Chain A
Amino acid sequence: MLEKALRGSPKYWGWVAFLLVLIGAGAACWVWQLTVGLKITGMNRDVSWGFYIAQFTYLVGVAASGVMIVLPYYFHHYKTFKHMVIFGEFLAIAAVVMCMGFIVVDIGQPQRMLNVMLHPTPNSVLFWDMVVLNGYLFLNLIIGWICLEKDRLNLPHPKWLKPIIYTSIIWAFSIHTVTAFLYQGLPGRHYWLTAILAARFLSSAFCSGPAILLLVALLTKKVTKFDPGKEAIATVAKIITYAMCVNVFFFLLELFTAFYSNIPGHIHSIAYLFVGAHGHTGMVPWMWSAAILAILSLILLVPPKLRDCQCLLPWSLGILVAATWIDKGLGLLIGGFTPNHFEQVTVYWPTGPEIMISLMVYGTGALVLTILYKIATEVKQDLGVSQKIECACEKKEESAAQAPEAHAHAH
Chain B
Amino acid sequence: MNQNRRHFLKFVGLSAAAGLCFGPVRGLMASGGPAASSAPAETAAGLRAKRWAMVVDTRVLNSAETIKPLVDVCHSQHNVPDIPGNKNIKWIWGAPFHEAFTDMNTNYLAEGVESRQYVLLCNHCDNAPCVRVCPTKATYRRPDGIVTMDYHRCIGCRYCMAGCPYGSRSFNFGEPRLNLDLAKLNKEYPTRMRGVVEKCTFCVERLEAGKVPACVEAAKGALLFGDLTDSGSEVRKALRGNFTIRRKPSLGTEPSVYYII
Q: Are A124 and B248 in contact (CB under 8 A)?
A: no
Question: Chain A binding site: helix, strand, loop or mixed by DSSP?
Answer: loop
CB 8 Å contact bits of A29-71 with B (1 = contact, 0 = none): 0000000111101011110110000000000000000000000
Residue of A nearest to B134 (CB): A124
Contacts of A142 on B, CB cut-off 8 Å?
A: none
One of B87, B162, B163, B196 near A44 (C-beta < 8 A): B87
The yes or no answer to A188 lying at the interface (CB within 8 A) is yes
The yes or no answer to B50 lying at the interface (CB within 8 A) is no
Cα-based distance from A44 to B173 in the complex (angstroms): 8
Contacts of A337 on B, CB cut-off 8 Å?
A: 162
A108-B172, A121-B136 known; A49+B158 contact, CB < 8 A = yes
Contacts of A189 on B, CB cut-off 8 Å?
A: 162, 165
The yes or no answer to B157 lying at the interface (CB within 8 A) is yes
A124-B159, A341-B102 known; A119+B136 contact, CB < 8 A = yes
Number of A-B pairs, beta carbon distance below 8 Å: 143
Contacts of A103 on B, CB cut-off 8 Å?
A: 157
**How distant is B170 from chain A, measured CB to nearest CB, in Å?**
6
The yes or no answer to B242 lying at the interface (CB within 8 A) is no
Contacts of B136 on A, CB cut-off 8 Å?
A: 112, 115-116, 118-119, 121
A36-B174, A45-B87, A189-B162 known; A108+B194 contact, CB < 8 A = yes
The yes or no answer to A302 lying at the interface (CB within 8 A) is no
The yes or no answer to B253 lying at the interface (CB within 8 A) is yes
The yes or no answer to A264 lying at the interface (CB within 8 A) is yes
Cα-based distance from A13 to B95 in the complex (angstroms): 59
Q: Which of the listed residues A103, A109, A127, A189 has the most CB atoms from chain B within 10 Å of its own CB?
A: A109
Q: Are B165 and A187 in contact (CB under 8 A)?
A: yes
**How distant is B137 from chain A, measured CB to nearest CB, in Å?**
5
Q: Are A107 and B157 in contact (CB under 8 A)?
A: yes
Q: Are A108 and B195 in contact (CB under 8 A)?
A: yes
Cα-based distance from A45 to B197 in the complex (angstroms): 10
Residue of B nearest to A336 (CB): B162
The yes or no answer to A123 lying at the interface (CB within 8 A) is yes
One of A37, A340, A341 near B194 (C-beta < 8 A): A37
Cα-based distance from A264 to B193 in the complex (angstroms): 38
Contacts of A108 on B, CB cut-off 8 Å?
A: 154-158, 171-172, 194-197
Q: Are B253 and A187 in contact (CB under 8 A)?
A: yes
Cα-based distance from A118 to B174 in the complex (angstroms): 26
Q: Are A186 and B162 in contact (CB under 8 A)?
A: yes
One of A48, A123, A182 near B161 (C-beta < 8 A): A48
Contacts of A46 on B, CB cut-off 8 Å?
A: 86, 167
Cα-based distance from A341 to B88 in the complex (angstroms): 16
**How distant is A1 from chain B, measured CB to nearest CB, in Å?**
15
Contacts of B210 on A, CB cut-off 8 Å?
A: none
Give residues of chain B (85-143) contacting chain A, Cβ–Cβ below 8 Å: 85-89, 95, 98-100, 102-103, 105, 129, 132-138
Q: Are A37 and B132 in contact (CB under 8 A)?
A: no
Q: Are B165 and A126 in contact (CB under 8 A)?
A: no
Q: Are A43 and B129 in contact (CB under 8 A)?
A: no
Cα-based distance from A264 to B102 in the complex (angstroms): 10
Residue of B nearest to A34 (CB): B195
Q: Are B195 and A45 in contact (CB under 8 A)?
A: no
Residue of B nearest to A129 (CB): B135
One of B85, B134, B163, B173 near A186 (C-beta < 8 A): B163
Q: Are B153 and A48 in contact (CB under 8 A)?
A: no
Number of interface residues of A (CB under 8 A): 47
Q: Are A344 and B99 in contact (CB under 8 A)?
A: yes
The yes or no answer to B238 lying at the interface (CB within 8 A) is no
Residue of B nearest to A264 (CB): B105
Contacts of A182 on B, CB cut-off 8 Å?
A: 159
Residue of A nearest to B138 (CB): A115
Contacts of B218 on A, CB cut-off 8 Å?
A: none
Cα-based distance from A342 to B97 in the complex (angstroms): 10
Q: Are A121 and B167 in contact (CB under 8 A)?
A: no
The yes or no answer to A194 lying at the interface (CB within 8 A) is no
A45-B170, A124-B159 known; A109+B154 contact, CB < 8 A = yes
Residue of A nearest to B168 (CB): A341
**How distant is B109 from chain A, measured CB to nearest CB, in Å?**
15
**How distant is B254 from chain A, measured CB to nearest CB, in Å?**
12
Cα-based distance from A193 to B174 in the complex (angstroms): 31
Residue of A nearest to B170 (CB): A45
Contacts of A336 on B, CB cut-off 8 Å?
A: 162
Residue of A nearest to B151 (CB): A109
The yes or no answer to B180 lying at the interface (CB within 8 A) is no
Q: Are B99 and A125 in contact (CB under 8 A)?
A: no
Cα-based distance from A38 to B156 in the complex (angstroms): 10
Q: Are A39 and B159 in contact (CB under 8 A)?
A: no
The yes or no answer to B221 lying at the interface (CB within 8 A) is no
Cα-based distance from A127 to B132 in the complex (angstroms): 11
Task: Give 10 A-B pairs besides A44-B87, A108-B172 with Cβ atoms closer than 8 angstroms.
Answer: A37-B173, A39-B173, A108-B154, A108-B155, A108-B157, A115-B136, A115-B153, A124-B134, A182-B159, A341-B165
Residues of B in contact with A (beta carbons under 8 Å apart)? 85-89, 95, 98-100, 102-103, 105, 129, 132-138, 153-159, 161-167, 170-175, 193-197, 248, 251-253
Residues of A in contact with B (beta carbons under 8 Å apart)? 36-39, 41, 43-46, 48-49, 103, 106-110, 112-113, 115-116, 118-119, 121, 123-127, 130, 182-183, 185-189, 264-265, 336-337, 340-344, 346
27 interchain pairs, CB-CB under 8 A: A37-B173, A38-B156, A38-B171, A44-B86, A45-B167, A49-B158, A49-B162, A108-B155, A109-B155, A110-B155, A116-B135, A116-B155, A119-B136, A121-B135, A123-B132, A124-B132, A124-B159, A126-B157, A182-B159, A186-B163, A187-B252, A188-B164, A340-B167, A341-B166, A342-B167, A343-B98, A344-B99
